[in-house]
A and B are shown apart, each in its own frame.
Chain A
């Protein structure tokens, strides 16, 4: 007769009945990991689905084109022709400027100028107090975001000045669903009409602004693919998207974030799986006699492994199911983190695919990690119950290596299995997947090995410490760490991973912000003046020179918006430019210079002399642009400015330090090459931070169209974004700590009966409950503190490595965060340990002794 799975299931169920309490903790540890994983991935899928379902509303159109220049006449004719074929369009301009309420300091705001009679094509903009956009917005009125009202202490009906012109506030923008797909989707916002924008006088030739064209395909219009093709030809540099594909930047960012957070969740799951492996190992150790008896009765190793595999799968399945339910709660938390940046957020929903994935991963993870203890069943000899007292010699290390070869292979399989799961989370090409798998394998294998090694060393150190004359409670507490079945090393690794990861995120976040705030290289500007009109140039410079607190000189350059058409007859529009280098298809800010300055380093060729102008325009190209566009000395470049084309020969390749304003300009023309074209000036200067606000006010009073960017404000915005990102990552990585704490509880629960006996014996010998409590607390606190210390040491190491590589930052070891980590982990471990021990103290001694 064959030993069927149903029989194995029956025996597995009977076997597990008495272990429900300790398995509960194991199930919870798995559930935490699956919860964070399915929460992250479920939210991502819901977000993707929302982007798809609400695509038209999010875009406010069927199709959108984004450029950074006003359309040329040729481009305009294409748009007009499309309009004649029932492709309705509306134009939005987004830019930055200064706003003031008169008696307040001016603040930097983003402007969105719309045609309220057409915008939005889909969805609606809701104002508070409610009013239709087409009637609320006129040439003299604006709607603003609530942070403008708060910061400038304004209310509906008050006046806000933009470009020196007054605008009445008709309401707060309560709902703007297409904001997340705009150019400037964070920070204070002003919505106005196009007439209002014209009235401000902010838009000069060459001013920086994002021009956004929205299209609605009315019945009878060409298909969306046809319209897209025409627009692609007319606007080769533009970012074109239609409602069917969502916004590529948003979806790319979402995919990357999902992948990263999924990997963090996977670490939590690994912690949970370590707990399962430890619990199953302990369970099998406690069942040695039962296993030996069953072998005496005729059970084969394969049958017994089948029984315990069923138990493991059941644990994984139960943990997965609970985890999926928990993931639903995690999904609900995400909108809280993102509501500042996204108007429209998906509601939490149970996604079957994500749930199935989560449950599958839970079962796979628990099976993988329990392979080594399950394979150990083969080595349990039935004669164990006849001759336990006869201590045979332990085999030597070579023999043990041979005997453990299956477990070693299982260990390798575990790492590869998880690498495979990590690869499945990767969005991108096959090469990206392999890279993720490779890095994850190294990180997982290396990380676990390091943690295990450090944990082993620390436990050895504690053991040596425990032999010294210490107070009784401390000595017993340390000795308890070595109680058979305590699995202190596994608990340390499990807790240590969570602490290490969470603290690393915090230290990197802190390091990034500190580095940004640190004193910049000497002469580094901290105030930038944008969009200075030629007529205001001298007056602005004069005002700057009169201000207190200005250090050093003012860097001023005049730029012209020019479009590079071709290099040596190779058209830019036809070059295969991808990612950030696509910017060369858009108009670039270029400048001219009569003579070389100290901070422009010519790496090849020669700068033209100041003595006489070259016969034909020459240009010096930045080394990065030269590399990307394959430009060499002598190359002929063809340009267009305001419809006028000209050519310039490449005379040199340059490099500029990052401090000076001119480093933002990649093309420097010879003197005279840009004469006659509209120029806009930019200035940078260094001011004492305490004088910047007064300077901003003085400048705004005289020159309201000049935008002042205070680096401190930019850093603050940057810091709030970094903080938010770090908060989300820490939220997910905290689950790893929770999983570690649960594993501690599980380990304590697994040694429950041993602890009961010890308590009983101690009580019989005269120990009070307080004394016994102290011993247990010492054990849990030491375990937690050691795990916290381990995690803190590794976190500091990893964080410094990352910061040094990313930012060339100085190495530092801030004491307070690490100390907090150690103390917090010790307290968490104490709570977790007592959660699994609370009934032990109340046990009556005779009850236990009678059972002996």
Chain B
């Protein structure tokens, strides 16, 4: 990322969410982005995922400048290269656990038994194979986040982004999900970028970036 800014215009004034972000992340790194609420962490993650366009600056992902890509091109990119884990899980309520995990595979044109095998393998690795036919409303928060984790790894993305993945979980579940995340990450060899304000979580990262008021104030 170089010279990245993001501003939005509300009814009354302009809000500068990111005010000039420059950094690089190498392949395979585990990076934690920290900072207080409103520092722009989630927005930064969203820009990295191509969920939004920066106001100015450049983002190069895996050697590809994604800044000027249109919506469809971004979607293709996300389908191939980026896995995402949300704070609020964001499972589709009308699909079962297995169907939720399968979704990224199907959206990229996958069909047939191979996908189903992979989905079940992932559900087994997060300990929910026997719950694969259950809907999100039938699962606890922790279980839903584990399904979301499995979904994120379905297409073997080279990059995994996680936005406060344990933010809505109690400490025990949070710890469990974190262990799973790190284990899966090591197994699949992805680049992991984690947004959190939890120091325990960030301690597990190889690199920590601290943000405040839309800027990077510390890197360690």
Q: B78 contacts which of A1, A289, A298, A385 (Cβ < 8 Å)?
A: A298
Is there a chain B Cβ closer than 8 Å to A245's Cβ?
Answer: no
Q: How far is the CB of A360 from the nearest CB of chain B, in Å? A: 30
Decide yes or no: A299 and B75 within 8 Å by CB, A15-B94, A392-B8 being known contacts: yes
CA distance A17 to B92 in the complex (A): 13
Per-residue contact bits, chain A 282-295, to B (CB 8 Å; 1 contact, 0 not): 00000001100111
Which of A4-12, A129-137, A483-491 makes up part of the contact surface?
A: A4-12
Per-residue contact bits, chain B 13-50, to A (CB 8 Å; 1 contact, 0 not): 00100000000000000000000000000110010010
Decide yes or no: A390 and B84 within 8 Å by CB, A1-B108, A298-B107 being known contacts: no
CA distance A303 to B72 in the complex (A): 10
Q: How far is the CB of B206 from the nearest CB of chain A, in Å? A: 25
Q: How far is the CB of A392 from the nearest CB of chain B, in Å? A: 6
Is there a chain A Cβ closer than 8 Å to B71's Cβ?
Answer: yes
Is there a chain A Cβ closer than 8 Å to B11's Cβ?
Answer: yes
Determine whether the beta carbon of B106 is less than 8 Å from that of A7: yes
Decide yes or no: A300 and B72 within 8 Å by CB, A18-B94, A290-B93 being known contacts: yes
B115-146: which residues lie under 8 A (CB-CB) from chain A? 137
Determine whether the beta carbon of B94 is less than 8 Å from that of A14: yes
B83-131: which residues lie under 8 A (CB-CB) from chain A? 84, 86, 88, 90-95, 99, 103-104, 106-111
Is there a chain B Cβ closer than 8 Å to A574's Cβ?
Answer: no
Is there a chain B Cβ closer than 8 Å to A381's Cβ?
Answer: yes
Is there a chain A Cβ closer than 8 Å to B76's Cβ?
Answer: yes
Determine whether the beta carbon of A303 is less than 8 Å from that of B93: no
Return the chain B residue nearest A392 by Cβ: B8
Is there a chain B Cβ closer than 8 Å to A120's Cβ?
Answer: no
Determine whether the beta carbon of B90 is less than 8 Å from that of A289: yes
Q: A381 contacts which of B52, B80, B94, B111 (Cβ < 8 Å)?
A: B52
Is there a chain B Cβ closer than 8 Å to A302's Cβ?
Answer: yes
Determine whether the beta carbon of A297 is less than 8 Å from that of B94: no
Is there a chain B Cβ closer than 8 Å to A393's Cβ?
Answer: yes
CA distance A290 to B95 in the complex (A): 10
Determine whether the beta carbon of B90 is less than 8 Å from that of A391: no
Q: How far is the CB of B93 from the nearest CB of chain A, in Å? A: 7
Determine whether the beta carbon of A290 is less than 8 Å from that of B92: yes
A300-326: which residues lie under 8 A (CB-CB) from chain B? 300-303
B107 contact set on A, CB distance < 8 A: 3, 294, 297-299, 303
Determine whether the beta carbon of A383 is less than 8 Å from that of B52: yes
B75 contact set on A, CB distance < 8 A: 295, 298-301, 382
Determine whether the beta carbon of B72 is less than 8 Å from that of A301: yes
Determine whether the beta carbon of B8 is less than 8 Å from that of A14: no
Determine whether the beta carbon of A383 is less than 8 Å from that of B51: yes
Is there a chain A Cβ closer than 8 Å to B151's Cβ?
Answer: yes
B9 contact set on A, CB distance < 8 A: 392-393
Q: B108 contacts which of A6, A298, A385 (Cβ < 8 Å)?
A: A298
Determine whether the beta carbon of A386 is less than 8 Å from that of B108: no
Determine whether the beta carbon of B15 is less than 8 Å from that of A390: yes
Is there a chain A Cβ closer than 8 Å to B57's Cβ?
Answer: no
CA distance A18 to B99 in the complex (A): 14
Please classify the interface of chain A as helix (H, G, I), strand (E, B), loop, or mixed, using the class held by over half of its residues: helix
Is there a chain A Cβ closer than 8 Å to B79's Cβ?
Answer: yes
Q: How far is the CB of B168 from the nearest CB of chain A, in Å? A: 14
Return the chain A residue nearest B96 by Cβ: A14
Is there a chain A Cβ closer than 8 Å to B10's Cβ?
Answer: yes
Count CB-based A-B contacts (< 8 Å). Answer: 109
Return the chain B residue nearest A390 by Cβ: B8
Decide yes or no: A393 and B109 within 8 Å by CB, A294-B103, A385-B86 being known contacts: no
Return the chain A residue nearest B73 by Cβ: A300
Determine whether the beta carbon of B80 is less than 8 Å from that of A298: yes
Determine whether the beta carbon of A1 is less than 8 Å from that of B109: yes
Determine whether the beta carbon of B10 is less than 8 Å from that of A390: yes
Q: How far is the CB of B4 from the nearest CB of chain A, in Å? A: 15
Q: How many residues from A make CB contacts under 8 Å with B?
A: 37
Determine whether the beta carbon of B72 is less than 8 Å from that of A297: no
B90 contact set on A, CB distance < 8 A: 289, 293, 296, 385
A3 contact set on B, CB distance < 8 A: 106-109
Q: How far is the CB of A19 from the nearest CB of chain B, in Å? A: 8
Q: How far is the CB of A279 from the nearest CB of chain B, in Å? A: 16
CA distance A386 to B41 in the complex (A): 11
Decide yes or no: A293 and B92 within 8 Å by CB, A393-B10, A851-B137 being known contacts: yes
Q: A10 contacts which of B8, B42, B80, B106 (Cβ < 8 Å)?
A: B106
Determine whether the beta carbon of B78 is less than 8 Å from that of A296: yes
A386 contact set on B, CB distance < 8 A: 42-43, 46, 51-52, 163
CA distance A301 to B72 in the complex (A): 7
Decide yes or no: A298 and B104 within 8 Å by CB, A6-B111, A386-B51, A390-B15 being known contacts: yes
B11 contact set on A, CB distance < 8 A: 391, 393
Q: How far is the CB of B158 from the nearest CB of chain A, in Å? A: 14
A11 contact set on B, CB distance < 8 A: 103, 106
CA distance A637 to B103 in the complex (A): 89
Is there a chain B Cβ closer than 8 Å to A400's Cβ?
Answer: no
Is there a chain B Cβ closer than 8 Å to A2's Cβ?
Answer: yes
CA distance A6 to B72 in the complex (A): 21
CA distance A391 to B43 in the complex (A): 15
Return the chain A residue nearest B106 by Cβ: A7
B43 contact set on A, CB distance < 8 A: 386-387
B42 contact set on A, CB distance < 8 A: 386-387
CA distance A75 to B10 in the complex (A): 93
Q: B104 contacts which of A15, A17, A297, A390 (Cβ < 8 Å)?
A: A297
A6 contact set on B, CB distance < 8 A: 111
B46 contact set on A, CB distance < 8 A: 383, 386-387
A293 contact set on B, CB distance < 8 A: 90-92
Determine whether the beta carbon of A2 is less than 8 Å from that of B95: no
Q: A15-B94, A295-B71, A382-B75 are in contact. List 17 more A-B contacts (CB 8 A).
A: A1-B111, A7-B106, A7-B111, A17-B94, A289-B90, A290-B94, A298-B78, A298-B79, A298-B80, A298-B104, A298-B108, A298-B155, A378-B71, A383-B52, A390-B15, A392-B9, A393-B11
- Lowest 9 CB-CB distances: which A-B pairs, in order? A298-B79, A1-B109, A383-B52, A298-B78, A383-B51, A300-B75, A18-B94, A300-B72, A382-B51
Can you identify 11 A-B contacts, CB atoms within 8 angstroms? A15-B95, A289-B90, A297-B84, A299-B107, A385-B90, A386-B43, A386-B46, A386-B163, A387-B43, A390-B8, A390-B10
Interface residues of B (CB under 8 A from A): 8-11, 15, 42-43, 46, 49, 51-52, 71-72, 75-80, 84, 86, 88, 90-95, 99, 103-104, 106-111, 137, 151, 155, 163
